Amino acid sequence: MNQSSMRKKSLAEYRAVIFDLDGTLYYQKPFRIRMLFYLFGHMLRHPSAIGDMLLIKRYREVREKWEDYERTMSFPADMPLEDRQYEFIAAQKKVTVSRVADAVRFYMHEAPLALLPYYKDAMLSDAIEKLRRKNVSVVIYSDYPVEEKLRALGIEADWHFTSSDKKINCMKPDPKGLQVILATLGLQAEDVIMVGDRYEKHGLAAIGNRMDYLIVSSSKKEREKLTDILT
């Protein structure tokens, strides 16, 4: 079921709309299934990649509960978020930091690009184009790098931010990221809405800033019920 807290009737009534990327601008469940087939084939051709797959699995687990894991280690205050996570996993798995970074770069940031267009949410993509034509600022805010994914999806935005940005350096639902975005755009929370696919990440980040939010379903059929809200 969709959870939403909107004080306006449609996205076009806000001055800016902040979209999550993964699971929001494309359908993540069928994409992940397709990626599993790709990875399985890749491992058959390159058996040594099994070790990298285990690193990626752990990387995903750690990022989901990073706040809990981070408390168990001491990092320099100015150390980038991704470097902290790479170092944490490298220490756990007894591998080099560069091996973790290389595995993440290839399997999570590069390999998926060719498949993403097949799972794009065309309705949200169309909504983004309409919002920009109406002079509503479109912002992409993700816990992962966004530029190459947006290019693969054929989506243009006015602004984009990631959790690894120096001024943010934390993951959702920490409200700091949205605070940085509001300050950068020079807008108040009531002028902006957060659109994402996870209440526990995107909804709570918005609530932490007293910002409106819209949580979209993973189901295409359910998302199509939002047509009037998106335009």
Yes or no: say if 128 and 157 are a contact pair by the CB < 8 Å rule. Answer: yes
Closest CA to 219 of 27, 9, 79, 13: 27
For residue 220, count other CB atoms closer than 10 A to its CB. Answer: 12
Yes or no: say if 23 and 197 are a contact pair by the CB < 8 Å rule. Answer: yes
Task: Note the pLDDT tens digit of each residue in 161-174.
Answer: 999 999 999 999 99
Closest CA to 25 of 142, 105, 185: 142
3 has pLDDT over 70: no
Give the global pTM.
0.92
Longest dimension (CA), the chain: 53
According to DSSP, the residues that pair with 149 across neighbouring strands are none
Task: Note the pLDDT tens digit of each residue in 16-69.
Answer: 999 999 999 999 999 999 999 998 898 889 898 899 999 999 999 999 899 888
Q: What is the pLDDT of residue 7?
A: 87
Task: Note the pLDDT tens digit of each residue in 181-224.
Answer: 999 999 999 999 999 999 999 999 999 999 999 999 999 999 99
In whole angstroms, give the CA distance from residue 80 to residue 102. Answer: 16
